[in-house]
């Protein structure tokens, strides 16, 4: 999956086309996560039209959620219709900060209610040390395992304190995958 962010929102579909121009093959890259709050539906729909097999992920970041209730957020996401496939409840955007399980589950429940065809996931502070416990807490609260999880910051080693100045840690990734697989069906 490609994670993408750009300050130039009005030309998003053209930017994505430039990224994949001449190299896109179905199956090579199966998803793009748009790490930009409340994009123009026409831009997202054009990406889906150009790459119909591409899974498009909406990141419900702190910017997307700021000042909004779960029903308002779900209603806004519902407008994207068939143009998006996944929503990640990700209040901290890869910074490794744990999310509040209760408020994230409230968001999940509203999304499942208003957008039943979307796959909804949780992100925020998952590590190999805590993923099993946190997934079990989520499973108890949502009464099942109809969700996915995402990790980034908790699988990296900091080089400096600057955001993004870090390295992927294969031992952390292995621990995370082993621990997650111990509780997921």
3-state helix, strand, coil in the chain (%, to 5): 45, 15, 40
**Contact between 73 and 108 (Cβ < 8 Å):** no
**Contact between 145 and 185 (Cβ < 8 Å):** yes
CATH number of the domain where residue 160 is located: 3.20.20.70
- Catalogue the long-range contacts made by 11-20 (C-beta closer than 8 Å, 24 or more residues apart): 11/43, 12/36, 12/39, 12/40, 12/43, 12/44, 12/47, 13/43, 13/44, 13/46, 13/47, 13/50, 16/47, 16/50, 16/51, 17/50, 20/51
pLDDT in tens, 51-108: 999 999 999 988 898 899 999 999 999 999 999 999 999 887 656 566 788 999 999 9
pLDDT of residue 93: 64
What phi and psi values does residue 135 have, to the nearest 5 degrees?
Answer: -65, -40
**Predicted confidence band of residue 21 (pLDDT cuts 50, 70, 90):** confident
pLDDT of residue 69: 94
The answer on pLDDT for 109 being more than 90 is: yes
C-alpha to C-alpha distance for 134 and 98, rounded to whole angstroms: 10
pLDDT of residue 149: 93
The answer on pLDDT for 7 being more than 80 is: yes
Q: Average pLDDT, stretch 6-12?
A: 92
Q: Average pLDDT, stretch 10-15?
A: 94
Distances (CA, A) of 84 to 40, 97, 120, 136, 137: 12, 25, 11, 27, 27
What is the span of the domain harbouring residue 92?
A: 2-181
How many domains does the chain contain in total?
Answer: 1
Burial class (CB in 10 A: 0-12, 13-18, 19+), 172: middle
Distances (CA, A) of 15 to 3, 83, 93, 162, 176: 13, 17, 21, 27, 33
pLDDT in tens, 112-163: 999 999 999 999 889 999 999 999 999 999 988 889 999 888 899 999 988 7
């Amino acid at each position: 999956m490609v994670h993408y962010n750009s300050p130039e929102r009005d030309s998003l579909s053209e930017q994505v086309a430039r990224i994949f121009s001449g190299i896109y093959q179905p199956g090579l890259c199966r998803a793009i996560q748009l790490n930009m709050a409340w994009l123009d539906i026409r831009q997202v729909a054009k990406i889906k039209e150009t790459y119909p097999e591409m899974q498009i992920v909406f990141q419900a970041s702190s910017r997307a959620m700021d000042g909004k209730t779960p029903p308002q957020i779900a209603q806004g996401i519902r407008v994207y219709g068939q143009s998006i496939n996944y929503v990640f409840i990700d209040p901290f955007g890869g910074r490794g900060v744990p999310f509040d399980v209760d408020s994230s589950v409230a968001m999940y429940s509203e999304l499942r209610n208003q957008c039943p065809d979307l796959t909804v996931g949780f992100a925020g502070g998952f590590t190999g040390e805590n993923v099993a416990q946190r997934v079990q807490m989520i499973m108890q609260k949502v009464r099942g395992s109809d969700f996915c999880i995402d990790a980034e910051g908790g699988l990296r080693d900091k080089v400096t304190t600057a955001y993004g100045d870090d390295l992927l840690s294969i031992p952390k990734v292995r621990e995370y995958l082993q621990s997650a697989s111990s509780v997921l069906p």
